[in-house]
Chain A
């Protein structure tokens, strides 16, 4: 089979039994792989949403038909039910683990059950081997990877959890290839709940390509396109994602002090420009990536990966901190302990506002850079006030009677774009099926960055249509599986072309949009079964009631109600956000 390996294994850690899962060619075409196929397989296994930490909550590691082939194809997607949000969740990570899993012969690995003692899995030659991980339990993610590299062949790629995942911190990440993270939604905590410390993958099985000659010609052309594009060819390689700090701040929507302002006076001090002239050692790149947006950095006493934009915001402007070294070191700590930097930083910011408002006794002060790494460590190890920070902002703010101070949607913390400054992004946050996330539909692209067209960020006209379109395209790219940064240099038709060249199937743009819509609707169906309704397609009241007072988004509020009904209509959902029977029939669901 071209594109796919034709093999998915399900392993039950409780019994140790493993079996192949048959997937028809038609199913592959309808769901591709990665996020889409993962959500489909998950939904088939769990018609009723299980407790995220129950043995019966499967955890899927998925590759896609393009994994291991074209540029940026080292990625993988992790799918499960999130312990942070209760929604269906998929979390994406770069590096090379996806390519290694596929070279080991798999389109996906489904882990269910719970091991009686800590284990790690070795995947190679289409098989899965269970090994004892008792000696690895308690190690951080870098120690774990190093130890496993000592026990496996060269070129093994390892995905693992750190202490945060072992301790089931609700926003624990899965880390691979040193510092790449499947960060959002607590997939690391699900892994920890299964006593699964790591997965090591290696192999040399190549993905079959339908037309090798046309494929090579296409690759050369696309490499040139990526290189020629000013974002993928110049800005991202030189300045990384943190180039956005000054841009978003200039638009008055860099969330500052728990979203109370959209302007951070010290933005220059935490900008991509500043990182490039201070901490940066070199750029780093994932498997087959010509862009290289990663930042390998060094402070006086430590070195590591990052910070990228979301992290420099979460530990910087969001907390009123401009000490770049402290931000970088908190980032390194999250990488080593296995924590999502966005939820970590946002929850600390929530605690700071709770303290300031007088309901939280714990001394959490804006700008306190000195205690940042300690808060991260305490959270991962569940000690002291870290136990409460480990709840995430929604549960923390509710506990202290101020739920409105948690900057979250469906329990997931909103990232580094104030929705009052971009109406489409606001709608995208509210309707994201894994919660407050910018990656379901990145409306910042048209509303701020002007890709592929420039849209008026303050207008709601046409936003429901474009949000749904962006969400559907994102679902396709997440299922191919490729890096979303390619979208700066290429549109949907290029993704169709790549899928045609590799699989030999005649994918059209229209068919792929249907795939994306099918995935999005399937995720919605799961969330509806889990109890989510229109009331959850919401944003914190701050965004409807408190105008920004300074900067170029001042006097703005989110106008969600102008967009939500239309969005549901575009999606073919009823007024409560439940997919209509006709929509399900059209999508074959």
Chain B
């Protein structure tokens, strides 16, 4: 059996989905594929908070794979592997 990737939700996403994390059985797929599968498992749409299917990540979206922002990697094409942890933050701010 393949391992799992832990996808964690924060802030408004957590409130929308009413859950803190989903484990997705996957290995060596793109971040976009992972997010699509996560949305299916969550049973409700939420990707509109993070990305535009045509233009990619929305301004201000923060997605960290093992603590590193995917914008410093390959954005939605970043490869994710079993055992990885993915943190999803919709645009947020403070001071």
Binding site for B on A (CB under 8 A): 230-232, 234-236, 238-244, 246-247, 250-252, 272-273, 276, 293, 308-310, 438-439, 442, 445, 448-452, 454, 456, 484-485, 488, 551-552
Contact = CB atoms under 8 A, between A and B. Distances in A.
Interface in B1-17: 10-12, 14-15
11 contacts: A230-B49, A236-B94, A238-B12, A238-B15, A243-B94, A246-B11, A293-B94, A452-B59, A454-B71, A485-B93, A485-B95
Given A230-B60, A246-B11, A456-B72, A240 B67 contact: no
Contact of A450 (B61, B68, B87): B61
A450 B62 contact: yes
B67 A449 contact: no
Contact of A448 (B14, B61, B62): B62
B64 A235 contact: no
B72 A552 contact: no
A554 to B, nearest CB: 9
Nearest to B65: A552
A552 B68 contact: yes
Interface string B32-74: 0000000000000000010000000011111010111101100
A521 to B, nearest CB: 24
B92 A239 contact: yes
A247 B60 contact: no
Nearest to A232: B93
B90 A272 contact: no
Nearest to A239: B11
Given A242-B94, A273-B10, A451 B59 contact: yes
A276 B10 CA distance: 12
B95 A247 contact: no
B91 interface: yes
Nearest to A552: B67
Contacts of B93: 231-232, 235-236, 243-244, 445, 449, 451, 485, 488
Contacts of A452: 59
Given A246-B11, A273-B14, A231 B67 contact: no
Contact of B60 (A246, A309, A450): A450
B67 A244 contact: no
B66 A552 contact: yes
B12 A450 contact: no
Contacts of B64: 250-251, 552
A439 B92 contact: no
A246 B10 contact: yes
Interface string B6-30: 0000111011000000000000000
Given A252-B67, A450-B61, A235 B14 contact: no
Contacts of A439: 95
A2 B88 CA distance: 46
B87 A250 contact: yes
B87 to A, nearest CB: 5
A484 B66 CA distance: 31
A551 B67 contact: yes
B38 to A, nearest CB: 17
Given A450-B59, A456-B72, A438 B12 contact: no
Q: Considering the complex of A and B, which 8 residue pairs feature the smallest CB-CB distances, nearest first?
A: A552-B67, A241-B94, A230-B91, A231-B93, A235-B92, A244-B94, A243-B92, A309-B94
Nearest to B68: A552
B71 A442 contact: no
Q: Which of B15, B67, B92, B93 is the most central at the interface, judged by chain A CB atoms within 10 Å of its CB?
A: B93
A247 B66 contact: no
A309 B11 CA distance: 14
B12 to A, nearest CB: 6
B85 to A, nearest CB: 9
Nearest to A550: B67
Contacts of B90: 230, 234-235
Given A239-B11, A243-B11, A451-B59, A309 B95 contact: yes
Contacts of A488: 93
A337 B39 CA distance: 49
Given A230-B60, A235-B11, A449-B62, A308 B72 contact: no
Nearest to A252: B67
A251 B69 CA distance: 9
Contacts of A276: 15
Given A243-B94, A250-B87, 19 more contacts: A230-B91, A231-B92, A235-B92, A236-B94, A238-B15, A241-B94, A243-B10, A246-B89, A247-B62, A251-B67, A310-B95, A448-B62, A449-B92, A449-B93, A450-B91, A454-B71, A485-B93, A552-B67, A552-B68
A451 B60 contact: yes
A21 to B, nearest CB: 32
Contact of B92 (A247, A251, A308): A247
Contact of A235 (B12, B59, B68, B72): B12
Contacts of B60: 230-231, 449-451
Contacts of A438: 95
Nearest to B94: A241
A485 B95 CA distance: 8
